[in-house]
Amino acid sequence: MTTPALLPLSGRRIPTLSPGASSFPHHRATLRLSEKFILLLILSAFITLCFGAFFFLPDNSKHKRFDLGLEDVLIPHIDSPKEGKHASGQVVIHGQGGHDEHRHREEEESLRDKIRADHERALQEAKEKLRKSRVELQAEIQTEKSKVMEDLKKKDAGPKPLPPVPMPKVVGVSDGEPPEPDVKEKRDKIREMMKHAWDSYRQYGWGHNELKPLAKKGHSTNIFGNSQLGATIVDALDTLYIMGLHEEFKDGQEWIEQNLDFGVNAEVSVFEVNIRFIGGLLAAYYLSGQEVFKLKAVQLAEKLLPAFNTPTGIPWAMVNLKSGVGRNWGWASAGSSILAEFGTLHMEFVHLTYLTGNPAYYQKVMHIRKLLAKMDRPNGLYPNYLNPRTGRWGQHHTSVGGLGDSFYEYLLKAWLMSDKTDTEARKTYDDAIEAIERHLIRKSNGGLTFIGEWKNGHLERKMGHLACFAGGMFALGADGSPDDKAGHYLQLGAEIAHTCHESYDRTVLKLGPEAFKFDSGLEAVAVRQNEKYYILRPEVIETYWYMWRFTHDPKYRQWGWEAAQVNNYCRVSGGFSGVKDVYSSNPTYDDVQQSFFLAETLKYLYLLFSSDDLMPFESWVFNTEAHPLPVLHLEEMEREPRAQTTAAWRGR
């Protein structure tokens, strides 16, 4: 775009101070810096005049609007002045009778004088400038330029500190040691497994996203782009903290401080980076009180925002952290975005707005929610695919496992995280679950309750390992369910837990396959070779933990301990590896130690063998990657001095 002010009006050249400039062959005037500077001075004098005139206009401040939306509640208003502030910087308190009116008049008078004096000074300065020689002007311009450069350098010197916000009380970060010696022994074993996973990564994969425990070197997948973002470090931090592995935590923090840089040319998954990195960093921040984690979370979130620049505001699946260019997975139906991806941002984004006061994050996720609420849903179900250009559903596939799962989870958790005030989220969850129960949940011939997948009007009687998380979700959502159905949902959670345990129990390794069928006489077993693998996933243990917390039925700890036998089949000298066939007594390894093994699987196991006062549900909500975020009791939020939180950390 050209700047009209610099183009000649009606074909006449703007006169120039530079003699060389007159030899330009064409008529389009090109102004030199010194000329621009003088024009700017004159322009600024003019603006100052107009600005002064503004104060002689009637006072509009009495016609203030009083809009108070949820954003006003959510965004901390810190240091908001109670008094009116004039542009001059003088504070004026309105409406205190004759004395005040007199004072007010006096102030206006002195303001006018000041503005008059300012105009005169500005005009005088402009005249002086015009009298100066070219050399003098160039020298002045040079000095100004250097000053601007200096200021810019100062600005780039370090990250701008974020505004202080009221901190939710950090409660329940206790030791959680169980009173029973045998349970404590099991818990110690889980902590030892965490040490082995972390130490191996520390030794062979440090700074890489994940670890190849057999090849003993770094590993990465396309979800993290081609960059070394230390995914395992970020994902594991809060588990280390909760387990009291302080040295390891500090080590991870140091790496993050010195190396974690999001200005890289990497195309990452918006969803994965949100749940693992932003979730992980926020949890580490809330637990430890170390500002660096908050800063990094916000820096990364800024990089994700361009992903929302689509015609509908439904984000792309991937975004390039450097260029901000987004796109969708090639395999997704008709260029669609994925329900479980764009629907799993809410918790982290609400916290980002809460911590920064920047409404953009909250607005983005609320926009998604509003858009979904307006759409027709086949049989009340949410299809897994939605085109971000047209705003139309892609294929009518619905799943509580892969591609759909955490969308439902985040509806429930949005409500819990808001201290149960976000009733819109709760209602959306209840409606969705009702449709799922009607169309997707069935009992097998052998009496196992399973969640199938809906594909174009047909129910596929297959359940994925990922869908096993839903047992915990049903239990977590039982309290507060409509029509007093709490007992029903707790029972449903127990049935799903039982089915998923069966899928483990019917294998040779006692570890569950990726997907299992309830068809043609099959009950909770995998048939296809490419469904027989176990990649250290957490969902079944996650459900055991929720069920344990709500029922204290000892079978959940027993089943959890069976699953902890991952230590026998997946442990190698260089860490932990997934296996390719859980039905084989001598399986081959996939040679990947997934970051979620440290973030989720080991954390849920540790919590299962801890007492309930560690990370209680009243105060914490776990994101889909098991990163705990505090419940935001907005109305009783109190400012916690940071020193208090860090002291708590040191004291542990």
- Which residues form the interface with ligand DMJ (CB under 6 A)? 406, 466, 537-538, 596, 600, 624-625
What does the alpha-carbon distance between residue 584 and residue 532 come to, in Å, rounded to a whole number?
9
CB of 281 closer than 8 Å to CB of 297 = yes
SS in 3 state form for 488-505?
HHHHHHHHHHHHHHHHHH
Entry field: residues in the chain: 652
367's enclosing H/E stretch is helix 360-374
Task: List the catalytic residue out of 210, 272, 523, 542.
Answer: 272
Question: Of 344 and 481, which has the nearer Cβ to ligand DMJ?
Answer: 344
Amino acid (one-letter) located at 335: G
State the minimum distance, in angstroms, from the CB of residue 174 to ligand DMJ: 25
DSSP for residue 636: G
Give the C-alpha separation, 491 to 513, whole Å: 24
Closest approach of Cβ 281 to ligand DMJ, in Å? 15
Q: 26: which 2 tokens?
A: 């064409």
From CA 500, how far away is CA 19, in angstroms rounded? Answer: 85
CB nearer ligand DMJ, residue 499 or residue 624: 624
Residue 102: how many CB atoms within 10 A of its CB?
10
Marked catalytic residue, from 514, 523, 581, 625: 514
Whole-angstrom distance, CA of residue 209 vs CA of residue 593 = 10
Q: Which is nearer to ligand DMJ, 76 or 225 (CB)?
A: 225
Closer CB to ligand DMJ, 35 or 600, in the complex? 600
Which CB atom, from 35 or from 272, has the smaller least distance to ligand DMJ? 272
HEC profile of 411-438: HHHHHHHCCCCCHHHHHHHHHHHHHHHH
Distance CA 257, CA 158 (A): 12
Active site residue 238: no
Residue 218 DSSP one-character state: E
Query: Does 514 qualify as catalytic in the annotation?
Result: yes
State the residue number with the nearest CB to ligand DMJ: 624
Confirm or deny that 353 is annotated as ligand binding: no
Contact 365, 346 (CB under 8 A): yes
Q: How far is CA 544 from CA 442, 469, 541, 563, in A?
A: 21, 9, 5, 10
> Which residue in 187, 186, 198 sits closest to 237, CA to CA?
198
Nearer to ligand DMJ, 269 or 645 (CB): 269
Choice among 405, 430, 453, 502 that is catalytic: 405
CB 491 within 8 A of CB 426: no
User: Rounded to an integer, what distance in angstroms lies between the CA atom of residue 398 and that of residue 407?
Assistant: 11
In the complex, minimum distance from the CB of residue 610 to ligand DMJ, in angstroms, rounded to a whole number: 20
Active site residue 272: yes
Catalytic status, residue 107 = no
Q: In angstroms, give the least distance from the CB of 625 to ligand DMJ.
A: 5
* Shortest distance (Å) from residue 617 CB to ligand DMJ: 18
- Rounded to whole angstroms, the Cα distance separating 650 from 652 reads 6
Is there a contact between 575 and 236 (Cβ–Cβ < 8 Å)?
no
Minimum Å gap between C-beta 283 and ligand DMJ is 14
Six token digits for residue 633: 């009791």
Give the whole-angstrom CA distance, residue 618 versus residue 612.
Answer: 11
Closer residue to ligand DMJ in complex, CB, 290/627: 627
CB of 231 to ligand DMJ, least distance (A): 10
Q: Which two three-digit tokens encode residue 634?
A: 């907005």
What's the distance, CA 42 to chain centroid? 48
Q: Which is nearer to ligand DMJ, 289 or 501 (CB)?
A: 501
Q: How far is the CB of 210 from ligand DMJ (least distance, A)?
A: 12
Annotated catalytic residues are 272, 405, 514, 539
Binding site, annotated residues for Ca(2+):
624
Binding site, annotated residues:
624
